[in-house]
Amino acid sequence: MHSAKGHGFQLALAFSILILALSSCVHLAESFGIVPKKPDISLVDFQVKSLSVSTIDVEVVISVLNNDHRELAVDRLSFDLFLTDTKLGVGSIAEKIAVLPNAEQRVRIPIALQTKELMGAAMNLMSGKAKENARIRGSADITTWLGSLTIPFDREFSK
């Protein structure tokens, strides 16, 4: 007679082995070019374009690095922008971006930031409660020869 505890352990072990096998298969499939390699998406730079009392217009530069030997088509890119862990704004672009094989494409995305949130991040910096860094967290919809994929990303940037 099997105990419920023993059955749960066997189920967990089988599930762990299945996950490990599937992750190995995906890695092998990427290595042999069966599945497209995921692009690297990161924050390159951001520049202030204009200021007002309530908003600050910023241009964010995002890098999309195509690690595959096939052309990559980014259909949509959206992200949240953080400074010192304070969410400043949301950026998105819905126009198609073509990235050549094994190449990098930089995309400029305008964002209107709220002055109130930016001042809060600046206060955290001046008080020493936070380090000077920017971060983007979002996702990109890409079209591959296998179909459409959504790739999440979360990158930090320090100047």
Residue with tokens 């890098």: 63
Residue 113 has pLDDT above 50, yes or no: yes
Lowest mean pLDDT among 12-16, 24-28, 53-57: 24-28
pLDDT at 102: 93
Residue 38 has pLDDT above 60, yes or no: yes
CA angle 32, 26, 148 (to 5 degrees): 95
Using one digit for the tens of pLDDT, what is the confidence trace for 47-89?
888 888 888 888 888 899 998 888 888 899 898 888 777 788 8
pLDDT at 143: 82
Average pLDDT over the chain, rounded to whole? 77
Pairing of strands 97-99, 86-93: unpaired
pLDDT at 6: 56
Residue 106 has pLDDT above 90, yes or no: yes
Query: pLDDT-derived band of residue 159, with 50, 70 and 90 as boundaries?
Result: low
The pair of three-digit structure tokens given for residue 32, joined into one six-digit string = 């042999």
Cβ atoms within 10 Å of 84's Cβ, excluding its own:
18
pTM greater than 0.85: no
- Taking only Cα atoms into account, the Rg of the chain, rounded to an integer number of angstroms, comes to 21
Query: pLDDT-derived band of residue 27, with 50, 70 and 90 as boundaries?
Result: very low
The pair of three-digit structure tokens given for residue 108, joined into one six-digit string = 């400029």
Mean pLDDT of 82-102: 86
pLDDT at 105: 94
The pair of three-digit structure tokens given for residue 47, joined into one six-digit string = 């520049």
